[in-house]
A = this chain, B = another copy of it.
Amino acid sequence: MGGFYIGRERKARKAYGFDEVALVPGEVTLDPNDVDVSWKLGDLTFAIPILVSAMDGVVDTNFAIQMGRLGGLAVLNLGGVQTRYDSPAKAIEEIVNSSSEETVEIIQRVYQAPIKEELIEKRIKEMKKAKILVAVSAIPQQAARFGPTAEEAGADVFVVQATVATAKYYSSKRESLDFGKLCSKLSIPVIVGNCVTYETAYELMQTGIDALLIGVGPGAACTTREVLGVGVPQVTATIDAAAARDEYFKKTGRYVPIITDGGMRIGGDICKALASGADAVMIGSAFARATEAPGKGYHWGMATSDENLPRGARVRVGTTGTLKEIVYGPARLDDGSQNLVWAIRTCMGYCGAANIKEIHEVEMVIAPAIKSEGKFFQRTQWRGIKK
């Protein structure tokens, strides 16, 4: 598996992120309309391989309903403002309107209100009423308690998400979550994350989970890499987890899809995640730019509220279009942040990939980031945020 010496008798592999690779067009090209972009989670089939992150600035019940109607899946955070406040909009407003200096403190305070189980039920039922597939998320410490509540209230998918999830967690003070037990208690699919290595991915699949989130440290509103030094860039993390998925499938006949989570801003990044082996992607910041996002152009990472060691930032991305424009276009921006599905279809067409399985096989090259390819004129003025 190669590796380079980084010091005396010590080698390290080089890991790659989205900015370091590019996809090679195929010998055969396809009409984008003929491409199949659907994927499966347990018995559920989704029309598009895009999930929206459980971030309070992005997903509320209304957003989840709109996204569900478009064929995607937005995850509602059961540990956020939606389940702590009867009127979460006011809490969000306070965060959004805070000055830069006080944001972390305000986020920390807002998230100290207790989670109310009746609000869990209420939020899920609000979404079910719209007849969409409902996904909710909890941290491992609360998963055993909230999982059954969520399923009972009608949730279709349960997500357990920590910065780093492993099959083996030890603590002298509290019992760790047994993923196997949780999966057998729930009849709905369980998505678990996040992880970045072959070994952990394989071990988590062995516990019986239904899908795996890949990504530690890459998100736009996450500072894990800075604060802790921990993280593996997403192209390599996805390739490694995909190898575990394929090996596990070969051994057991059970296919556990992997979902690359974090670090993708634009269509090109999503396409690269799929080419690295992802069955679907989970995206936050690109959707924080939707008119429907409760954060009104702001979002913040789930670890920003950590009382001791906040590891996230409030990021302003601006509001640039409707959710429909972001998902299905027509794109009114030329920077790859809108019409993500057509971007996936076009890319797959250029690469000759008829479905998600086939894009896993597309050739990649290591390529310098685009900025060094001659685009030195004032491109920035054309991007992004309307002032």
Interface size class of A (residues with CB under 8 A): 35 or more
This protein's copies in its complex? 4
A267 CB within 8 Å of chain B: yes
Of all chain B residues, which has the CB nearest A199?
A: B27
CB of A269 within 8 A of chain B? yes
Residue of B nearest to A274 (CB): B229
Which residues A157-193 have CB closer than 8 A to chain B?
A: 163-164, 166-174
What are 21 A-B interface contacts by the 8 Å CB criterion? Answer: A5-B13, A6-B364, A8-B198, A12-B363, A14-B365, A18-B374, A19-B374, A24-B196, A27-B203, A28-B168, A31-B173, A225-B370, A227-B267, A228-B336, A229-B272, A233-B373, A263-B373, A304-B334, A309-B330, A310-B331, A315-B378
Do A342 and B309 form a contact, CB below 8 Å, given A231-B367, A366-B4, A366-B14? yes
A47 at the interface (CB under 8 A from B): no
Q: Cβ of A171: which chain B residues have Cβ within 8 Å of it? A: 30-31, 33-34
Report whether B33 and A235 are in contact in the complex, using a CB–CB cutoff of 8 Å. Answer: no
Establish whether residues A365 and B236, one from each chain, have CB atoms under 8 Å apart when the complex forms.
yes
Check: A22 CB closer than 8 A to any chain B CB: yes
Nearest B residue to A14 via CB reads: B366
Interface assignment of A253: CB less than 8 Å from any CB of chain B: no
Interface membership of A294, Cβ < 8 A: no
Known: A14-B365, A229-B272. 9 other contacts (CB 8 A): A6-B14, A7-B239, A7-B240, A8-B239, A26-B166, A220-B375, A263-B373, A285-B377, A316-B381
Q: In the complex, what's the smallest C-beta–C-beta distance from A260 to chain B, in angstroms?
A: 12
Contact B12 A365 (CB under 8 A): yes
When the two chains form the complex, which single residue of B164, B196, B234, B316 contacts A377, counting CB atoms closer than 8 Å? Answer: B316
Is A265 an interface residue, CB under 8 A from the partner? yes
Smallest beta-carbon distance A128→chain B, Å: 33
Instruction: Annotate A324-357 by CB proximity to B: 1 below 8 A, 0 otherwise.
Output: 0000011111111001001100110011100000
Residues of B within 8 A of A27 (CB): 166-168, 197, 199-200, 203
Query: How far does the alpha carbon of A297 sit from the alpha carbon of B382 in the complex, in Å?
Result: 15
> A18-41 toward B: CB 8 Å interface, digit per residue (1/0)?
111111111111110110000000
Complex Cα–Cα for A19 and B6 (A): 13
Best-surrounded residue of A15, A21, A309 (most CB of chain B within 10 A): A309
The reply to whether A100 and B381 form a contact with Cβ atoms under 8 Å apart is yes
